[in-house]
Amino acid sequence: MRIASHVAALILVTVGTGCVSNELDSTNGFIAPPPDPAHRAVHIETTGCGFAPDRTGSGVAVGDGLVLTVAHLIARADGISATVGEGVGVDTVVIAVDLKLDLALLQLPPNEVPLIEMSSAGTGAEGFIVGAAASGTVPFEVKEVVSLSIEEVLGTERHNRLGYELEASTRRGDSGAGAYDGENRLIGIVFATGEEGESSWITSSAEIEGFLATHRSDRAAIVCDPGESRLDLP
């Protein structure tokens, strides 16, 4: 998704910190650092639903065999293949979608990726966007912590979400890639790029944590409606 900087209403806000504790190293009692974000990078390829085109994008493996990505990438998909890190592509299914937050959750076969650690960031914080399908690894600096007014995916209503405006050069296809701070903690995922490619916008970890908390493990897979060329959401 691409947006010009004048499209979103950007209002400075304060975002609370949300963290998942690091695991304790049983051999020496020290806290083990989060794994390299490259191991969480997911390359996603979709087969279009009905008359929709095939697409390529990015995602983040968050643990428990789950992949977080943007809803606009998979909203018109019939089949989805995901490749985690240096692995091989596997078929996956959509098990949760929030069109207002532009977030989606995919279920993969069980893997060894641990639960993700998240955090917030402030203006001037630096880090890297990792695993962007079109751009690879991209350095960033947080320009502002903002409230974003964005159209709902596949709709016209506007909704507010918390996020960050980054000074970062991303491109189409990078949506869904994770943005990490200097301690390899996820602060958000990319959902839009400015017209000139000089700014990127990410949905904050606070919104992501709320989305993941509402996910139910027994939720059925969400499937394509070829007549509408989009996912048939409950």
The answer to whether 189 and 68 are in contact (CB under 8 A) is yes
**77 and 124 co-located in one domain:** no
**130 and 168 co-located in one domain:** yes
- What does each C-alpha distance from 5 to 38, 148, 193, 194, 217 come to in angstroms? 29, 11, 9, 6, 37
Residue 173 lies in a domain: yes
**193 and 153 co-located in one domain:** yes
Confidence band, pLDDT 50/70/90 cuts, at residue 1: low
CA 224 to chain centre: 21
Token pair 């641990």 in the structure block, residue = 114
Q: What's the number of CA atoms in the CB half-sphere (13 Å) around residue 42?
A: 33
**158 and 201 co-located in one domain:** yes
| Distance between CA atoms of residues 150 and 19, nearest Å | 26
**CATH classification at residue 86:** 2.40.10.10
Confidence band, pLDDT 50/70/90 cuts, at residue 6: very low
Which structural domain, as residue segments, surrounds residue 72? 37-114+214-218
**125 and 70 co-located in one domain:** no
Q: State the total domains in the chain.
A: 2
Question: 59: which strand partners?
Answer: 42
Q: What is the mean pLDDT of residues 6-14?
A: 34
Q: What is the mean pLDDT of residues 66-82?
A: 94
* Model confidence pLDDT, tens digit, residues 112-153: 889 999 999 999 999 999 999 999 999 999 999 998 787 888
What's the pLDDT at 33?
A: 52
